[in-house]
Structure 1
Amino acid sequence: MEPFSSFEGFLPSSISCILLVMFICVKWISFDKKNRKNIPPSPRKLPIIGNFHQLGSNPNHNLHIMSQKYGPVMLLHLGSIPTLVASSAEAAHEIMKTHDLSFCSRPNLLVPNILFYGSKSISFAPYGEYWRQLKSLVVLKLLSNTRVKSYQKVRENEIVHMIQMLQESCGTTIDMGSTFASLTNNIISRVALGKKLDGPKYRKLLRVFVDTFNVFNVGSYIPWLSWVDRVIGTVGRAEKIAKEFDEFLERIIEEHVNKENWEDARSNEGEDFVDVLLDLQKHNTSDNNLCRDSLKALIMEAFAAGTDTTYATLEWAMSELIKNSRVMKKLQEEVTEIAQGRDMISEEDLEKMPYLKAVIKETLRLHPPFSLLLPRKSMQDVKLMGYDIAAGTQVFINAWAIGRDPALWEEPNEFRPERLLYDSINYQGLQFEWIPFGVGRRSCPGIQFSVPVMELALANIVYKFDLSLPGIKNEDLDMSEAFGVTIHRKCSLIVSVIPRFS
């Protein structure tokens, strides 16, 4: 009977152990399910480089194609950096409105750190008190409605100068990209510095500065390989152009400080950006901690961003008009009717030109200057469209793909300004199917400065001239893109101009 008695004692003990193990397993499964992360769909990655090989030479196009397989929200790994790519208006809405505060910082990138004095510019500064003060300063002091309107004569004067140059070039071919670059350079240098600084040396300096952003730097994405950037010269070239621009800006600032020398050189433009910033620096307060490097970063940013994006959009708009004769004819009819025989279109005329405004907006839909917008960084863990996004994730919003989404736009690849004629879409709105300048805290503050330049330049050119392509039909114009921080035409827009009126 002893073996049987031992078994009887063992049975309750075994059942207790089994129940305990089952209880632990259930709790573990429940805990694991509760804490398991639901990460967005992600393509397979390679060792070290991650998904970089899938971006190709046209990341906006390739990411759009990938989104059709993996969905409007997908997670890539660029080197060791987790990167969220949003390709739908719904995803953009959640990032730039619903969770705007969580996604409003910037990643730490090598080139902006070098060129903008440790990313002290409004575009690249991380979110925080410094950035908030800088944004308030720019919006209220540099780009307020009153100040933008005060530069009207500068805009009109430079556009008259451009029209005269085009008239003198009738019968020859003209590089419209260079023409638009010169126009925007002249306007911004007069507004920011008080005098025109156009010329081959200055244009080359600015071109090299902008091109530096298009150079991939290894260390920002694979930190343990950051030494490669020095070996291949990326750091050296960035430091060289930063030093040249810094010396240029120091001369400008010193000339402003020593007004006696500056007044003879400037063109009586009134108070320019440097004047405003120096005055703010002079009356430095706890709410306005504007150091010398911050001042220079803001001026540098005005040149780089203001010039490059504005002239790129103008060149794309002119390309679309040349390629689409129906749209060109309709726009010429509108501006001719409003001009009523006057020599030039004025800024006061622009509000009477809805089709012109629709042409600009349709251009920005198809050709947003920053096709992926500028990268953001999540500052905390976020639940986005059902997915778990970890703090520190880099975020790209594919504005190019959203602007060509067939679920949002009928015949999305066609240039049809009528779709935006009298539409509620505007530059300050919260529509997410049209986001060429971004939305929310990190939206571009220079919109209201650049739009009058684009509208006035385009209106006067199509009013004064007929444009054609030498050697090919207008409808055969190549619209290929050259990818960069700003999307430009791959080939220069070379045209012949003919006066519309004798």
Structure 2
Amino acid sequence: MILGFMERNLSSSLLGTLLLLSLAWFLHLVRKLLPPSNFPRNIPTVPIYVSFLGLFTNMDQKEIFENYLRDHLEMYGAVKIYFASRWNILVTKPELLVEIFRDEETFAKSGNQIKIPYSVLSEYTGDNLISAHGSTWKLYRQILTTVIQFPDLNPVVGNSRKFVRSIAHAAQSGSSMLVTDVIQKFALSNIGDSMLGIDFRLFENDHSVLNEKLKFVKSHIFKPMYLNFPFLDKFPIPSRIEARQAVRSFRKYYSGLIRSLPENVSNVAGSLTKALNDGVFTEQQFTDNAMIVMIAGHENPQLLLTSLIYVLSLYQDIQQKLRDELTSVDYDEQVLDQLPYLNSIIYETLRMFPPLGQIINRITTKPVKLGDFVIPKGVYVGYNNFATGRDRTVWEDADSFSPDRWGIEIAQVNRSYSKAKGSARLPAFHGRKRACLGEKFALHEMKQVLNQLLKSFRVIPDPEWENKLTPGGPVSPWKLKVKFEAL
């Protein structure tokens, strides 16, 4: 009888919680159905239900973009869009992006720690070099700029060889391979060896504590429901409580690894530890910045390499042409920088598959005129790299993967890339003062690993893999599977 009473009370409690969550959800949506009245009237509004499509349909980011965003963005250059529990203005025209990147004071960085401080995502990333503004950001840059821009590049070649060896078993069996885990190991190994000065031994251990903990955290973090509606993290949802606990556990474990290293101002870990020991950083700032170097430093290369493997498997003629270029020269790290087709393929992949598709982390600090739009103070303004890279008014034959568009000779290829970045036609690495500090390192990783991979294997599409991009958040092929055929 007592057990029956407890079960009835537990059921009632659970039902009550679900009803409260449903009511909160409904009231939130009713209040948020339309953008605020002070938003520019000459910017079209993307219907709020579009934010649900990745949750309740099989549509990926490309399909949502083409069906609900593309025409508006190509015509107006901006839309009003609901994301992260608020209405935002999303800008994609290069000339408008240049203005945003140039005016750092008006379009101020305002990351998750300010925008959605109650969310699990905010607890994961914290206040850091990427999201901070003003004097705090300048302090972070002072400590971290040099060690991020000039890491130890030597380990990347060795990790590229380990990456290739790790896929040999799948190649021998002739079976398809889900590449997510091995690419994550490669990217994390590079961050550990080159920037932190710590060998995570990810390729030597199939069940590395770091790798397993990180996969578990990611499985909770990148859920479209909570990326679009982070206010739900305010409620006692069991899965979100578990997610928050996982994040806290990972942060404690990871920061402990960094703290165990000796001071060495030639790398990120040592510089962070020195800043902490000298009282320049608080414990929170130390952990937040250690986290963001690991997060951004491995996730963006991981996503980019996944997309590169995808396009090379999809376009066999491009893959073979690149292999011919790579095998036509004696290997040298500097030689890879001079290969036009290799560099062009990477740039073209960045254009069509930028790792971070949509970024909304700036807020207007005063009313501002942006092109023909008058934006009030306190509005979140973001950009969509995926849309800009595929804008048919900006790029000729925008939907075609065409490495040759960047040029034939390496000098021409590099000029085209520099111009595309400077004009914000290619904003994948952001721009101006807030341009990505790890850009050169990420490009170096891609060149090294492609050189090793294509000399050893032919990459072939898995005919049973559904050709889809991620449903939301970061951009890359969703759970990509390919075959590796030994040469």
TM over 0.5: yes
Which letter maps to 1:175? Answer: L
Partner of 2:166: 165
**1:94 Cα shift?**
2.5
**1:450 Cα shift?**
1.3
Cα root mean square deviation, aligned = 3.0
Instruction: Say which SS state the counterpart of residue 392 (structure 1) adopts.
Output: coil
Partner of 1:486: 474
Partner of 1:16: none
Quote the Cα distance in structure 2 between the aligned partners of 1:167 and 1:350: 24
Partner of 2:334: 348
Number of equivalences: 424
Instruction: Say which SS state the counterpart of residue 437 (structure 2) adopts.
Output: coil
Partner of 1:138: 144
Structure 1 pair 218/471, CA: closer, same or farther in 2 (3 Å)?
closer
Aligned partner (choices 210, 214, 228) of residue 218 of structure 2: 210
After TM superposition, list the pairs within 5 Å mapping 1:73-112 onto structure 2: 73-78=78-83, 81-97=86-102, 99-107=103-111, 108-109=115-116, 110-112=119-121
The one-character-per-residue Cα deviations of 1:264-311 (angstroms, maximum 9, x if unpaired) are xxxxx9954222221233344xxxx31222121122112222222112
Quote the Cα distance in structure 2 between the aligned partners of 1:88 and 1:55: 25
Partner of 2:397: 411
Kindly indicate whether the alpha-carbon contact (under 8 Å) linking 1:317 and 1:363 is maintained by their aligned counterparts in 2: yes
Which letter maps to 1:278? Answer: T
Kindly indicate whether the alpha-carbon contact (under 8 Å) linking 1:170 and 1:497 is maintained by their aligned counterparts in 2: yes
Quote the Cα distance in structure 2 between the aligned partners of 1:479 and 1:455: 25
Partner of 2:44: 42
Task: Indicate whether 1:336 and 2:327 are aligned.
Answer: yes
Partner of 1:152: 153
Instruction: Say which SS state the counterpart of residue 269 (structure 2) adopts.
Output: helix
**1:124 Cα shift?**
2.6
**1:419 Cα shift?**
0.6
**1:368 Cα shift?**
0.3
Quote the Cα distance in structure 2 between the aligned partners of 1:496 and 1:227: 42
Instruction: Say which SS state the counterpart of residue 485 (structure 1) adopts.
Output: coil
Which letter maps to 1:208? Answer: F
Partner of 1:9: none
Quote the Cα distance in structure 2 between the aligned partners of 1:217 and 1:306: 25
Partner of 1:458: 450
Identity, in percent, stands at 15
**1:317 Cα shift?**
0.8
**TM value normalised by structure 2:** 0.78
Aligned partner (choices 427, 433, 447) of residue 441 of structure 1: 433
Give unmatched runs, 5+ long, in structure 2.
1-37, 55-59
Structure 1 pair 212/427, CA: closer, same or farther in 2 (3 Å)?
farther
The one-character-per-residue Cα deviations of 1:335-359 (angstroms, maximum 9, x if unpaired) are 01113xxxxx442221221110111
Instruction: Say which SS state the counterpart of residue 261 (structure 2) adopts.
Output: helix
Quote the Cα distance in structure 2 between the aligned partners of 1:357 and 1:212: 35
Partner of 1:184: 187
Quote the Cα distance in structure 1 between the aligned partners of 2:233 and 2:314: 44
Aligned partner (choices 260, 270, 273) of residue 275 of structure 1: 270
Instruction: Say which SS state the counterpart of residue 104 (structure 1) adopts.
Output: strand
Partner of 1:320: 311
The one-character-per-residue Cα deviations of 1:35-54 (angstroms, maximum 9, x if unpaired) are x9854323386xxxxx2545
Structure 1 pair 283/488, CA: closer, same or farther in 2 (3 Å)?
same
**TM value normalised by structure 1:** 0.76
Question: Which of 1 and 2 has greater Rg?
Answer: 1
Kindly indicate whether the alpha-carbon contact (under 8 Å) linking 1:399 and 1:435 is maintained by their aligned counterparts in 2: yes
Range moving further from structure 2, 53-62 or 311-320: 53-62
The one-character-per-residue Cα deviations of 1:316-371 (angstroms, maximum 9, x if unpaired) are 111111111221121111101113xxxxx442221221110111000111100011
Kindly indicate whether the alpha-carbon contact (under 8 Å) linking 2:62 and 2:469 is maintained by their aligned counterparts in 1: no
After TM superposition, list the pairs within 5 Å mapping 1:396-407 onto structure 2: 396-407=382-393
After TM superposition, list the pairs within 5 Å mapping 1:23-62 onto structure 2: 39-43=41-45, 51-54=48-51, 56-57=53-54, 58=60, 61-62=63-64
Which letter maps to 2:53? Answer: G
Quote the Cα distance in structure 2 between the aligned partners of 1:306 and 1:282: 24
Give unmatched runs, 5+ long, in structure 1.
1-35, 46-50, 260-268, 340-344
Which letter maps to 1:327? Answer: I
Which letter maps to 1:486? Answer: P
Instruction: Say which SS state the counterpart of residue 167 (structure 2) adopts.
Output: helix
Kindly indicate whether the alpha-carbon contact (under 8 Å) linking 1:365 and 1:436 is maintained by their aligned counterparts in 2: yes
Quote the Cα distance in structure 1 between the aligned partners of 2:353 and 2:212: 25
Partner of 2:25: none
